[in-house]
Copies of this chain bind each other. A is one copy, B any other.
Amino acid sequence: MTINRIPISVREALGRVIDNVGRLPHEKVPYTESYGRILAADLTATDDVPLFTKSAMDGFAIRSEDSTGASGERRIAFKVVEEIPAGASSDYVLAPNEAFRIMTGAEVPKSADAVVMFEQAKETADGFTVRKAFRPDENIALQGEECKTGDVIVPEGTFVNPGTVATLATFGYSSVEVYRRPVVGIMSTGSELLDVDAPPERGKIRNSNGPMIQSQLKRMNIDGRLYKLEADDLDTLTARVREMLSEVDAVITTGGVSVGDYDHLPGLYKNLGAIELFNKVGMRPGSVTTVSVLGDKPLFGLSGNPSACYSGFELFVRPALLKMMGHDKIYAPVVEGILDEDFRKANPFTRFIRAELEYRDGRIMARPSGFNKSNAVTSIAKSNGVIVLPGGTRGFEKGNAVRVMMTDMTTGTDRFDI
C-alpha cells in the first residue's frame, strides 16, 4: 500500500502539534520535590525581602550623622554599647557616638542607619574610630528593597529551578501547585525487534528505540512506560494501543510509519478514530514522522530509524509534552555554531544532523557525530546537539556559520528559531 503523502514544513508540522495539545490538571507537591516541575500559579512574596532592615557587612552600626566631618586628620570615636549577632536584634536606642557591634544579616536597630565595616574602623579600648563620613543606609540592606509582600516573583508556567526552590523556602511555601506530569506510553513496533537480553538472530535487531525514548523522557523528568513489543499485526496493535490510551496521556510508537507493506499506522489511526495532523514532513531524517490526536491525547508515530526517531522526539514530542506539563518555554534553544567539518552533500530538505558540540573560546564548534545514515545508533551516543542545515542546492563547508539545536538543556525558550 503506497499512500500519497504531501510533505509539510517542520514549522507548520510543529505548529499543528502544539495547537492540538493542552495543559494537564495541576497537583500539590512538597516544595523539596518541585525541582523540574512547572508552576501552576504565580509565586508571590508572602513577606518583604529583606524582611527587616539588616546589616550587609560585619562591622558597627552607627547613626550616620555622628560621622559627619570625619577624616584621616580628624577621626571620630564611637563607643560600642551592645553586640548583635546574626539572628538577634536590639531595642536599645543609641545616644550620640554610640554604636552596636553587628554581624552580617543581623537586624539593624531603629536608632542606627549606617554600618561601618570592620575594615573601615580602627578599634579602641571601648570602641573604634572612623576616618570618613558615612551616608544614611550605607552597608545596609533595607526592608523590602528586593521585593514587597504580594509581588509576583515567579509567574505561572515557569520551570522550577534551584532558585525557584530557594524562593519557595524563603517565602515559607512548604508545598506548591504544579502541573501534573504526562504519563507517556512507548511502543516499539516491528517483528524484526529483539529484547535487549535476547541473543542475536538472523535478520533481527535489538530494540533500542524504546529505551532511548525512555531516556529522552527521563531527561525531561518524565517516566515513560515501555509496553510490550507487538508483532506487525493491525488488530493486535489496535487493541494494545487502545489499552495504552486508557492508561496514558500520550502514546509514542516507533516504526511502522513508512510506506512498506507491513506498516500499519494509517490503519491504526483509522481504527482508533484519531485525527492525523500530518504524515510527512519536509525534513531529513524522519520525513515519515506522523502525529495524530485522539481527543486531547497525542499519538506520535516516530520513525523506526534510531536517528530519525531521536530527532523526531526532540522536534515534536518534547515541545508537546512540555506544553502539556504547563511550560511556557517549550522549544530547544537554537544558537549559532561554526561547522567544524565539511558537509558537502546538498539536500532539498531541512536536515537535522546529530552533532558533537565543542565549546572553544566562547564559540560553539559543531561537527556531525560520526557515521551519518539515519539508522546510526552510535552517532547519537556521541551527540550533544543537532545541527540544522536549511534545504537547498548547496553543501556546507568547515567554518560556515550554522544553526545548532541545544538538546542537552534542562530549560528552553519560547521561540522556535528554525
Residues of A within 8 A of B (CB): 2, 31-32, 35-36, 43, 47, 49-52, 54, 56, 58, 83, 85-89, 101, 103-107, 118, 141, 145-147, 153-154, 158, 161-174, 190-193, 196-200, 202-216, 218-219, 232, 258-262, 304, 306, 310, 333-336, 354, 357-364, 371, 373, 375-384, 401, 403, 406, 408-411, 413, 415, 417
Q: Which residues from B are CB-within-8-Å of A384?
A: 161, 411
- Can you pick out 11 interface pairs between chain A and chain B where the beta carbons lie within 8 Å of each other? A31-B196, A51-B200, A58-B261, A105-B205, A162-B213, A166-B377, A167-B380, A169-B211, A171-B206, A333-B357, A408-B409
Q: Give the residue name and chain of the B residue nearest to A205 (CB).
A: B51
B86 contacts A31, C-beta separation under 8 Å? no
A304 contacts B163, C-beta separation under 8 Å? no
B410 contacts A219, C-beta separation under 8 Å? yes
Within the complex, what minimum Cβ distance (angstroms) separates A381 from chain B?
A: 4
Within the complex, what minimum Cβ distance (angstroms) separates A102 from chain B?
A: 9
Within the complex, what minimum Cβ distance (angstroms) separates A400 from chain B?
A: 13
Complex CA–CA separation, A324 to B146 (angstroms): 37
A190 contacts B86, C-beta separation under 8 Å? yes
A154 contacts B258, C-beta separation under 8 Å? no
Q: Give the residue name and chain of the B residue nearest to A357 (CB).
A: B333
Apart from the given pairs A32-B214, A35-B215, 14 other A-B contacts in the complex at a CB distance below 8 Å: A36-B218, A50-B205, A85-B232, A104-B304, A153-B381, A161-B381, A163-B310, A163-B377, A163-B379, A166-B215, A174-B197, A333-B359, A335-B359, A360-B415
A304 contacts B196, C-beta separation under 8 Å? no
B403 contacts A162, C-beta separation under 8 Å? no
Q: Which residues from B are CB-within-8-Å of A205?
A: 50-51, 105, 170
Complex CA–CA separation, A40 to B407 (angstroms): 24
Q: Which residues from B are CB-within-8-Å of A167?
A: 208, 377-378, 380-381
Within the complex, what minimum Cβ distance (angstroms) separates A224 from chain B?
A: 10
A211 contacts B377, C-beta separation under 8 Å? no
Complex CA–CA separation, A111 to B165 (angstroms): 64
Query: Lowest 4 CB-CB distances: which A-B pairs, in order?
Result: A163-B380, A87-B192, A166-B212, A336-B362
Q: Which residues from B are CB-within-8-Å of A212?
A: 162-163, 165-166, 169
Within the complex, what minimum Cβ distance (angstroms) separates A48 from chain B?
A: 10
Q: Give the residue name and chain of the B residue nearest to A123 (CB).
A: B2
Complex CA–CA separation, A379 to B163 (angstroms): 8
Complex CA–CA separation, A349 to B202 (angstroms): 64
A204 contacts B87, C-beta separation under 8 Å? yes
A162 contacts B86, C-beta separation under 8 Å? no
Within the complex, what minimum Cβ distance (angstroms) separates A243 from chain B?
A: 22
Partner of A197, one of B172, B214, B219: B172
Complex CA–CA separation, A213 to B165 (angstroms): 9
Within the complex, what minimum Cβ distance (angstroms) separates A362 from chain B?
A: 4
Q: Which residues from B are CB-within-8-Å of A89?
A: 202-203
Given the contacts A161-B408, A260-B104, A361 and B417 also touching, CB distance less than 8 Å: yes
Complex CA–CA separation, A52 to B382 (angstroms): 23
B87 contacts A169, C-beta separation under 8 Å? no
Q: Which residues from B are CB-within-8-Å of A88?
A: 203
Within the complex, what minimum Cβ distance (angstroms) separates A347 from chain B?
A: 16
Complex CA–CA separation, A407 to B213 (angstroms): 24
Q: Give the residue name and chain of the B residue nearest to A145 (CB).
A: B371
Complex CA–CA separation, A148 to B277 (angstroms): 40
Complex CA–CA separation, A54 to B2 (angstroms): 21
Within the complex, what minimum Cβ distance (angstroms) separates A199 from chain B?
A: 8
Q: Give the residue name and chain of the B residue nearest to A154 (CB).
A: B381
Q: Which residues from B are CB-within-8-Å of A147?
A: 371, 378
Complex CA–CA separation, A384 to B171 (angstroms): 21
Q: Which residues from B are CB-within-8-Å of A198?
A: 172
A359 contacts B417, C-beta separation under 8 Å? yes
Q: Give the residue name and chain of the B residue nearest to A402 (CB).
A: B362
